[in-house]
């Protein structure tokens, strides 16, 4: 793999990840771009003890442009995009409309902690948000990527996780993909994102607290024990190979939800060895094709990598991917209405065992 760093017209970093070392990445971004926005503001909610990012500049971000104006396709004569090159394998670049950002030269302690009165405290939304383009083919999807292409995407995730984790103030790195208009994507090109948060996210705090209590009770790792139990039960397993198992969790929140675990516990993606990285793509793309085969339409989904935070809970964590869709039937979506949105109390219309059975039987061609 060859990694090449270059810069866009407004100073943002862009990385090419290529299979071959002879790729020329000297193309220059010739656009005239406005200055980069100031960092967002984080506001502390004392009722939930959570940080909320206020990022007004994101209201003006690009929204579902036609294919011939896609900013994630390679640049061409008369059509300049976010990628200056005329072709690429995998590209990662700083988001032009970030939820979190650290201006060049800003490496001070962000300060502004919680507890500043009943309203709560504020602090700059320092961190970083990046876009990951999985392929230059606008009409493709992650499920269509070759095993070699998936490995290259994984190398990009690993590279960026390591580098973003080293930014002062970053506490957690999150790699994810939103797919489908129903999910709320703003760009149709096959891509994902990476968030480098200046705090540990609420979901991760909850799971780490549960993992710590489990270790105190049993001496075991909660994630490893869940994986072992699902593999032994078998009824909710969707797919498996030598290094990975994909299963519908027993308490799935979403109509179709699949968790993908490596058989060996690692804190983050960088801990995966060569064989584990190679084995991920064939299994995962097969699961994605099963999702698409359920109802004969492209399934909207969120694919979320759970990795250990940078500074805490690494001995408790177990890197894994959680994949879920809001589609519950060919013509029906699950909306997060009163119980889910207001109370955080999920009700799932599809029994997890039935979801697993349907996914195992789905057409994958």
191 in active site:
yes
Identify whether the C-beta of residue 154 lies closer than 8 Å to the C-beta of residue 280: yes
Nearest alpha-carbon partner for 174 in 336, 322, 51: 322
> Which pairs count as long-range contacts for 162-169, CB under 8 Å and 24+ apart, including other chains?
162/270, 164/128, 164/130, 164/194, 164/196, 165/196, 165/310, 167/102, 167/127, 167/128, 167/196, 168/107, 168/108, 168/109, 169/102, 169/107, 169/109, 169/110, 169/126, 169/127, 169/198
Q: Dihedral of CA 166/305/137/89: which sign?
A: positive
Query: Hey, what are 59's tokens?
Result: 């209201």
From 189, 191, 306, 320, active-site residue:
191
**C-alpha distances in angstroms, 41 versus 10, 53, 168?**
21, 6, 17
Beta carbons of 330 and 298 less than 8 angstroms apart: no
Catalytic residues: 191
């Amino acid at each position: 793999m060859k990694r090449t760093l270059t810069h866009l017209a407004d100073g943002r970093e862009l990385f090419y990840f290529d299979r071959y070392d002879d790729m020329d990445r000297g193309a220059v971004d010739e656009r005239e771009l406005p200055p980069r926005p100031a960092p967002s503001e984080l506001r502390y909610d004392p009722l939930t003890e959570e940080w909320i990012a206020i990022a007004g500049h994101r209201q003006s971000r690009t929204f579902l442009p036609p294919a011939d104006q896609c900013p994630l396709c390679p640049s061409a004569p008369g059509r300049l995009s976010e990628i200056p090159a005329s072709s690429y394998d995998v590209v990662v670049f700083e988001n032009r409309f970030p939820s979190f950002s650290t201006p060049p030269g800003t490496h001070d302690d962000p300060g502004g902690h919680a507890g500043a009165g009943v309203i709560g405290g504020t602090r700059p939304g320092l961190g970083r948000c990046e876009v990951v383009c999985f392929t230059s083919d606008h009409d493709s999807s992650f499920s269509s990527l070759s095993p070699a292409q998936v490995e290259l995407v994984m190398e990009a995730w690993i590279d960026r996780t390591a580098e973003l984790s080293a930014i002062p103030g970053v506490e957690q790195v999150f790699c994810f993909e939103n797919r489908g208009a129903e999910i709320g994507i703003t760009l149709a090109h096959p891509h994902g994102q990476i968030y480098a948060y200046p705090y540990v996210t609420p979901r991760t705090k909850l799971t780490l607290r549960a993992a710590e209590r489990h270790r105190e009770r049993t001496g075991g790792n909660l994630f490893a024990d869940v994986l072992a139990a699902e593999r032994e039960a078998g009824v909710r397993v969707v797919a498996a190979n030598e290094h990975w198992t994909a299963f519908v969790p027993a308490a799935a929140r979403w109509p179709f939800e699949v968790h993908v675990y490596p058989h060996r516990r690692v804190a983050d993606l960088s801990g995966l060895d060569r064989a584990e990285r190679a084995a991920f793509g064939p299994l995962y793309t097969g699961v994605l094709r099963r999702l698409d085969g359920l109802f004969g339409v492209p399934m909207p989904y969120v694919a979320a990598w759970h990795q250990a935070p940078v500074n805490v809970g690494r001995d408790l964590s177990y890197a894994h991917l959680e994949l879920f869709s809001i589609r519950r039937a060919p013509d029906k979506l699950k909306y997060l209405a009163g119980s889910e949105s207001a109370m955080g109390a999920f009700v799932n219309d599809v029994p997890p065992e039935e979801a697993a059975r349907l996914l195992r039987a789905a057409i994958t061609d």
